[in-house]
Amino acid sequence: MINEITSDAESRMQKSVESLVEQFKKIRTGRAHPSLLDSITVSYYGSDVPIQQVANVSVEDARTLTIIPWEKQVVSDIEKAIMKSDLGLNPSSAGDVIRVPMPPLTEETRKGYIRQARTEAENARVAIRNIRRDANGDIKDLLKEKEISEDDSRRGEDQVQKLTDKYVAEADSLLALKEKDLMEI
């Protein structure tokens, strides 16, 4: 019983950390990376689809993304979608190729991105602690129903706390890496 609770808690905590990694991908650094455009959807024949489904996104150089749409008539829709996004990017098209230069980050924007990264990391830590609370509640319910002993209950809570510490530390290390990445010039 306790093993089921701890394994469920661990898988949920792992998903919280994976979600944090995905959120960090949306925070841009000074370098061009195709995953920056993952959150952008393009209107394509009346439905919104991810940009990867209508074009090939690649890195031209350290500060430029190249987008090659599979159909020429989608070029303007892709440009509009990139401009509407809150990424602060200005695409320029040359025929059927769209180039997206990455503007250099100012000190102020770097600090803003770091604040955003810290907020995302704190959200992940809160989610992990909520999972710990749920798992400990399940263990206490088993103890109340006399399905486990007090020693088993303490052992289970200790296991859940160790998992919590492990995943909070992982979120903190991911934040430290992202901050270091953002402060690089």
Express as a percent the part of the chain with pLDDT over 90: 32
The tokens for 35 are 């995953």
CA triplet 164, 175, 120: central angle to 5 degrees?
80
Q: Give, to the nearest 10 degrees, the angle between helix 107-144 and helix 150-183.
A: 170
Mean pLDDT, the chain, rounded, equals 87
Separation in Å, CA 57 to CA 10, 40, 67, 162, 167: 35, 12, 5, 41, 33
Express as a percent the part of the chain with pLDDT over 70: 98
End-to-end Cα separation, the chain, in angstroms: 51
Q: Does the structure show a pLDDT above 70 at 29?
A: no
CA–CA separation, 38 vs 84, rounded Å?
14
The tokens for 11 are 């898988």
Q: Is the pTM of this model over 0.85?
A: no
Q: Could you tell me where in the chain the CATH 1.10.132.20 domains are found?
A: 2-26+106-183
Q: Could you tell me where in the chain the CATH 3.30.1360.40 domains are found?
A: 34-101
Question: What CATH homologous superfamily does 2-26+106-183 map to?
Answer: Ribosome-recycling factor (1.10.132.20)
Binned at pLDDT 50, 70 and 90, residue 155 comes out as: very high
Fold of domain 34-101: Gyrase A; domain 2 (3.30.1360)
Least confident interval from 30-39, 47-56, 157-166, 170-179: 30-39
Mean pLDDT throughout 151-180? Answer: 92
